[in-house]
Amino acid sequence: MTVILDRPPVTLTGDGALKTPYRPRILGVGTATSAAVYSQQEVLDAFAITDPKIRSVFANSAIDRRHLTLPEPGTDGVRAPEPQGDLLDKHKAMAVEMGAEALRACLKRAGAELSDLRHLCCVSSTGFLTPGLSALMIRELGIDRHCSRSDIVGMGCNAGLNALNVVAGWSAAHPGELAVVLCTEACSAAYAMDSSMRTAVVNSLFGDGAGAIALMSGPGDEASGTTEGPTVLKFASCIIPEAIGAMRYDWDRELDRFSFYLDPQIPYVVGAHAEIVVDRLLGDTGLRRSDIGHWLVHSGGKKVIDAVVVNLGLTRHDLRHTVGVLRDYGNVSSGSFLFSYERLLDEQVTRPGDYGVLMTMGPGSTLETALVQW
Amino acid sequence: MSELSDVTTLTIDGSQPLSIKAIKDVTVLCDEVEDRGGAVVLRVTGAPAPGWTAGLDVALVTKWERVLRRLERLPAVTVAVATGDSGGTALDAFLTADIRIATRSSRLLLPFEGEATWPGMAVFRLARLAGAARARRAVLFGQPIQAPEALMLGIADELTETPDTAAATAVQRLEGLSGKEIALRRQLLFDAATISFEDALGPHLAACDRALRRTAEEAA
């Protein structure tokens, strides 16, 4: 006996809905990391960090391991922090290397070739580059010189969904043409080190990683090369201007380098706005929160994940991939939610008609969301 | 504020085999309560007759267990009242409720299927509520749980001779509570049984922060 209960109908006329004849589908995903993996203990040992308060931050991070590219040890076996110039070089090299691997893996899963690529949007916040990553990637991989491109820089952990929003629009306007969003973050190039809790929290959290997704819209077969990916239906954003300084990556004059700052209150501030943005995303669609079968939330950190779970009334099962990705990779910034998306696909539990919500959080402070349907 | 007029009531007859209709009834109830709020009263009664699983397949059971879980997590107070013998779908629904009332002569029954009891998620809920040791006789041997025993084990919260009045009183007592906040605390209770203090601390602090923000918003 087969049982089919009616799927709730979805209305897509409100703000943020893609009101186009053809909505883009996600055709493939790929991820990559830097080569070396470190446990939290190994990172502490590598920099000879003995302060019990800092060690405690690392121990309570809900992170088992991260991929990092650390400086070579000195003659005493201890690694000294690199100067800012070296960090920028590291960002450039690592972002391109991981980005190329993630892009290739994504295209392979989508059943596409590099020569099919018509738009490449590169996302990164862990270093500054001109020309940007899209240009470097095109040179590195020998992508067609006429490939349309864009770079989203400096938007932080949420940027993957800002990029998806813009590229979904590009894709809807270019049926049958392949677009890729590539988030590539060399978080090893974005650390600062002193004895403060400010840097301890940041240094315990981030890891290197890149994630790519391919999109295509079309009247039918063009966009159905694979059957595993969902269609992108709608976006909703919520910025919290009163918390504009709560997450920032800016110049630290004392340390003479860029330094990331995370306000201790920010997990709760983000959590308190999670319902607002999800209600807006589902508003006018006819969908209830309980109609959402799959939640893919940015692996921002243990506290922010807890706050999102509580405020959205989710279960630990709902955010199993978010928690698992944090445990295995740390926070890989803008590409984190793509690691979760890849794990969800690998589980093979999504069914045609299922709804999913993607959610990322970052500086602004901001929450970005997308509604998708398999 | 939930008033008595906001109560959504559903009768679940455990003597009927599990059906698409039973799943749809609970789905409609959940839809209504999620859209409009208010409290839920489940009237459950009846236990399956032998052979009740004829024609049943695990796809249907999956749908049933899924909608029960949705019922169990509703942003609303749920009250269940059991009369007579309650087994099958009646027992399943009874065990999902926040407040469980039984008539003094009622019995909770794990139905038999062939050579043993039915191993659905009622087994899980009984073990969670009463502990494996005390759920053992019912789960392994299908021994009926008499109403007084259910009360003693915490499976029932109260016994009554007047089920409708008892349900109405229970709903009235909880008037003014937020269904959404109840759902949040219910989830903390579920998780408390399985996770460590360290893992629970974060969600509890986030819930405290949420409560403080709500109080501050009300004050403003």
CA angle A291, A296, A299 (to 5 degrees): 145
Beta bridge partners of A371: A234, A357
Give the H/E segment covering residue A149: strand A148-153
- Do the domain assignments include residue A15? no
Inter-chain touch B63–A5, beta carbons under 8 Å = yes
B208 in contact with A, Cβ within 8 Å: no
pLDDT confidence of residue B2: 40
Which of B18, B36, B198, B205 best tests the A interface by mutation, with the highest count of A CBs <10 A? B205
pLDDT at A337: 98
Tell me the C-alpha distance between A64 and A326, whole Å: 8
Q: Does B30 touch chain A (CB under 8 A)?
A: yes
**Letter string b/e over residues B100-118, b meaning 16 or more CB atoms within 10 A of that residue's CB:** bbbbeebbbbbbbbeeebb
Instruction: Tell whether A245 is covered by a domain.
Output: yes
- Judge whether residue A194 has pLDDT over 90: no
At A130 the pLDDT is: 96
The pLDDT of residue A5 is: 55
Any domain includes A210: yes
**Mean pLDDT calculated for residue range B175-197:** 95
Q: Do A349 and A299 share a domain, yes or no? A: yes
| Domain of residue A134, residue span | 22-217
Whose tokens are 């790519």? That residue is: A212
Other Cβ atoms less than 10 A from the Cβ of B75: the count is 18
User: Three-class SS of residue A252?
Assistant: strand
**Backbone phi, then psi, for A260, in 5-degree steps?**
-95, 140
Query: Is any Cβ of chain A less than 8 angstroms from the Cβ of B211?
Result: no
In a domain, A223, yes or no: no
Residue B13's SS3 state is: strand
Domain boundary pick from A217, A242, A261 = A217
A50 with A170, same domain? yes
CA-angle at B70, arms to A345 and B162, nearest 5°: 165
Half-sphere exposure in the Cβ direction for A93 (13 Å, CA)? 10
Chain A nearest C-alpha distance from B184 (Å): 6
A89 and A193 part of one domain: yes
Q: Which structure tokens are listed for A249?
A: 């990556």
Which residue of A306, A311, A322, A327 to mutate against B (max B Cβ within 10 Å)? A306
My answer on whether A257 and A211 are in the same domain is no
CATH number for the domain including A92?
3.40.47.10
Residue with tokens 């691997």: A101
* pLDDT tens by residue, A111-132: 999 999 999 999 999 999 999 9
Tokens of A317: 């099962």
Positive or negative torsion for Cα B22, B25, B26, B27: positive
Give the model's pLDDT for residue A3.
Answer: 47
Give the Cα separation of A326 and A301 in Å (integer). Answer: 7
Tell me what pLDDT residue A2 has: 45
Burial A300-314, CB ≥16 within 10 A → b, else e: bbbbbbbbbbbbbbb
Measured over the CA atoms of residue A242, residue A248, residue A251 and residue A255, the dihedral's sign is positive
- Kindly state whether residues A116 and A149 are assigned to the same domain: yes
* Model pLDDT, residue A266: 95
Question: What tokens does A217 get?
Answer: 């819209």
C-beta atoms of B210 and A310 within 8 A = yes
CA dihedral A91, A363, A288, A11 (to 10 degrees): -80
Among residues of chain A, what percentage have pLDDT more than 90? 85
Average pLDDT (B6-25) is 96
Averaged over B104-132, what is the pLDDT?
Answer: 94
User: What is the C-alpha to C-alpha distance for residues A95 and A91, in angstroms, rounded to an integer?
Assistant: 6
Instruction: Please say if the pLDDT value at position B101 is more than 60.
Output: yes
Per residue in A43-77, pLDDT tens? 999 888 999 999 999 999 999 999 999 998 888 88
At residue B23 the predicted structure's pLDDT band, cuts being 50, 70 and 90, is very high
What confidence tens digit (pLDDT) does each residue in A292-318 have?
999 999 999 999 999 999 999 999 999
Asked whether residue A6 is domain-assigned, the answer is no
Specify whether A174 is located in the same domain as A113: yes
Q: Which two tokens stand for residue B179?
A: 């269904």
Say whether both A115 and A234 belong to one domain: no
Q: Is the pLDDT of residue B103 over 50?
A: yes
The answer on A202 and A244 residing in a single domain is: no
Q: Within the 55-114 window of chain B, which residues sit less than 8 Å (CB to CB) from chain A? A: 55, 57, 59-60, 63, 70, 73, 75
Residue A1, domain member (yes or no): no
> In this structure, is residue A173 part of a structural domain?
yes
Composition of chain A by helix, strand, coil, percent to 5 = 40, 25, 35
Q: Which residue has the tokens 């629970």?
A: B200
Q: What is the CA radius of gyration of chain A?
A: 20
Domain boundary at A163, A192, A217, which?
A217
Average pLDDT over residues B207-216: 95
- pLDDT bin (cut points 50, 70, 90) of residue A1 is very low
* B35–A271 C-beta distance less than 8 A: no
Residue type, B214: R
Tens digits of residue pLDDT in A262-277? 999 999 999 999 999 9
Q: Is A91 helix (H, G, I), strand (E, B) or coil?
A: helix
The amino acid sitting at A291 is D
Give tens-digit pLDDT for A347-370. Answer: 999 999 999 999 999 999 999 999
- Active site positions of A, annotated: 157
Q: Decide: A360 and A368 in contact? Cβ < 8 Å.
A: yes
Preferred mutation among A3, A289, A312 to probe B, highest tally of B CBs within 10 A: A3
User: Is the confidence at residue B4, as pLDDT, over 50?
Assistant: no
The CA distance from A316 to A305, in Å, is 10
Last residue of a domain, one of A166, A191, A217: A217
Q: Which pLDDT band, with edges at 50, 70 and 90, does A7 fall under?
A: low
**Residue A213 shares a structural domain with residue A233:** no
Angle at B180 between CA B179 and CA B183, to 5 degrees: 85
Q: E strand or H helix at B125, and its extent?
A: helix B121-130
Residues A27 and A144 in one domain: yes
**A313-335 pLDDT tens trace:** 999 999 999 999 999 999 999 99
- Give me the mean pLDDT over the B70-98 stretch: 97
- A129 and A81 housed in the same domain: yes
Which residues of chain B make contact with A242, given a CB cutoff of 8 A?
none
Binary contact (B209, A271; C-beta < 8 A) = yes
Q: Domains in chain A: how many in total?
A: 2
Cβ count within 10 A of residue B148: 12
Q: Would A236 be classed as within a structural domain?
A: yes
- The β-bridge partners of B42 are B10, B80
Chain A CB within 8 Å of residue B212 CB: no
Contact A307 B59 (CB under 8 A): no
Q: Which residue has the higher pLDDT, A77 or B160?
A: B160
Q: Say if the Cβ atoms of B210 and A272 lie within 8 Å.
A: yes
Beta bridge partners of B81: B43, B101
Arithmetic mean of pLDDT, B53-60: 93
* pLDDT-derived band at A170, boundaries 50, 70, 90: very high
Q: Are residues A146 and A281 in the same domain?
A: no
Put simply, the answer to whether A315 touches B187 (Cβ < 8 Å) is: yes
